[in-house]
Structure 1
């Protein structure tokens, strides 16, 4: 190979790499942006598993930068989280001195959206008003970090051939979805990141617990998750539990079984936190918990699947 051909080949490889990197970066930043995105699930409703009604917040009043002199949200922290090892102590506790916007011991109090502001000693939701102050049913003040494994395969017919949508001509993607026990909505089988825990450990643990229910199948997916997934999103989750002072953020990775010979062959079994589990066809009509459908769409774009 001549030096000129080698240089051209190297250039094309680098171009492909940076195009992929840029596409990935754009995907991960396209869903939620403070000052642009308006959460919906955590406004104008009754807080889950309580009788507390949120203070009304219109679309125009979401952002903290917009004046709302009459804003007077009720304060609510669910009594069931008191004394839980996974939850922060009360703010008036003498032993609780949180270090906001940084690693606080092994608790990650950083937000993926940069430094959040404090008001009256409490962190402010970076997306805006929710109509409720306090911690709600979330364990941590400020960001509560989760991890979501989006496990996918291609839909196939009985003969094993790929199925394409006749309208778009693109192959149909399927994902593992669980039905949550709290609100009965279908969702990505994710969960909370424990203090000091690597996200990769959380991803594998939550998928095993929620979609395989602690069976010996966990060993079968070890290699599948060890090979690593592709990160498609990091940031705010429009979760129905969010408040002005506590909110959900997640790291979502796609683990794709290209030929369906790995987790695509496993029989799914719902765990304790799920009512049901199934392989679900992915398309534009998919209804999921929070903004999970938007996150899944990033996977669709990456794999050029039907939507």
Structure 2
């Protein structure tokens, strides 16, 4: 299956998803898995913030099950990773023995896609080849777990009425998006899950740090997130930092301000790793970092909003 053919799969399943929106997250997870999904962002390009060019990998050569005798990817781990408290030591090592596919102390080395293979002492990206070995700029060998809070509200006019798209007749939903400082792409305001940290704590912390950058509304934000979110995705992220031995996985939850009286009224302010932040209309033209647009689309389906 080519990348173009894979891109058409969600369209083939769309009627079924619309009839039963509760299956949409499960359907997306079934597509983004080894043997089906082919990552694009982490192939056939220069590794970000480096001069290291990935070894070319075609669509047909992504999966580890496909023979690729000439595959000779360069190894790269960003220099600034060394010695960081949030990063693993180099491998191989005589003193560092990670416990793959399980909870390793407080570090979660389990993948949402099941057990991954380990070759020559290094974990293998479950989706397939990326054209680069090492950790790149990621801190952990194997899965690097993140959490992404998709905070949404309905778009409203000056009188407070919800705005519908004139073509589809469906209400327009807006999300909080940040502009990443590393690649300048708009993204969900998420971040890495600290060792031993509950994902719910990560979600609230990252949203506050990246999209609000102040604490005077902390109680209201606390109540908003305590009300709970709806999980829309859990799995692999087609991130430009992924390598053969280190990759991003995320848990994404939708926190929706139905009447716009809570977070929907707050003045956004970029902080932490964000260079900008805004409420942005969500539709099929939305361009986001990695496969964030696919994750956000799950929210649109569940809320029966315009796309």
With structure 2 as the length reference, what TM-score do the two structures score? 0.92
| Partner-residue secondary structure (3-state), 1:275 | strand
Q: Which has the larger radius of gyration?
A: 1
Aligned to 2:240: 240
**What's the secondary structure of 1:235's corresponding residue?**
strand
> 2:163 corresponds to which residue?
163
1:254 aligns with 254
For the 8 Å contact 1:28–1:232, the answer to whether it is kept is no
Structure 2 residue 204 is matched with structure 1 residue 209: no
Residue 214 of structure 1 aligns to a residue whose secondary structure is: coil
| Distance in 2, Cα, partners of 1:175 & 1:31 | 24
Structure 2 partner of 1:87: 87
Q: Deviations over 1:249-274 (max 9, x none)?
A: 00000000000000000000000200
- Paired with 1:63 and 1:211, the residues of 2 have a C-alpha distance of 37
Kindly state the Cα deviation for residue 31 of structure 1 after the two structures are TM-superposed.
4.7
Q: Give the Å deviation of 1:66.
A: 0.8
Match of 1:291 in 2: 291
Q: CA deviation at 1:95?
A: 2.8
Q: How far 1:22 sits from its partner (Å)?
A: 5.1
**CA–CA separation in structure 2 for the residues paired with 1:149 and 1:116:** 26
SS in 1 for 2:44: coil
In structure 2, the residue matched to 1:197 is 197
- Please give the secondary structure, in 1, of the residue aligned with 2:112: coil
1:21, CA displacement in angstroms?
Answer: 9.0
1:112-127 correspondence to structure 2 within 5 Å: 112-127=112-127
Distance in 2 (CA, whole Å) between partners of 1:239 and 1:97 is 26
Q: CA deviation at 1:215?
A: 3.2
Give 1:23 deviation, angstroms: 2.1
Aligned partners of 2:48 and 2:240 also within 8 Å: yes
Question: In structure 1, what is the equivalent of residue 78 of structure 2?
Answer: 78
Whether 1:62 aligns to 2:62 is yes
Offset of residue 92 of structure 1:
3.5
Task: Give the CA deviation at 1:84.
Answer: 0.2
Task: State how far apart, in whole Å, the 2-side matches of 1:170 and 1:79 are.
Answer: 49
Say what the alpha-carbon RMSD is for the aligned residues. Answer: 1.4
> 1:18-167 residue pairs with structure 2 within 5 A?
23=23, 26-27=26-27, 29-167=29-167
CA–CA distance in 2 between the matches of 1:27 and 1:261?
32
Does residue 181 of structure 1 match 2:181?
yes
Q: How many residues align?
A: 289
Counterpart Cα distance in 2 of 1:226 and 1:27: 27
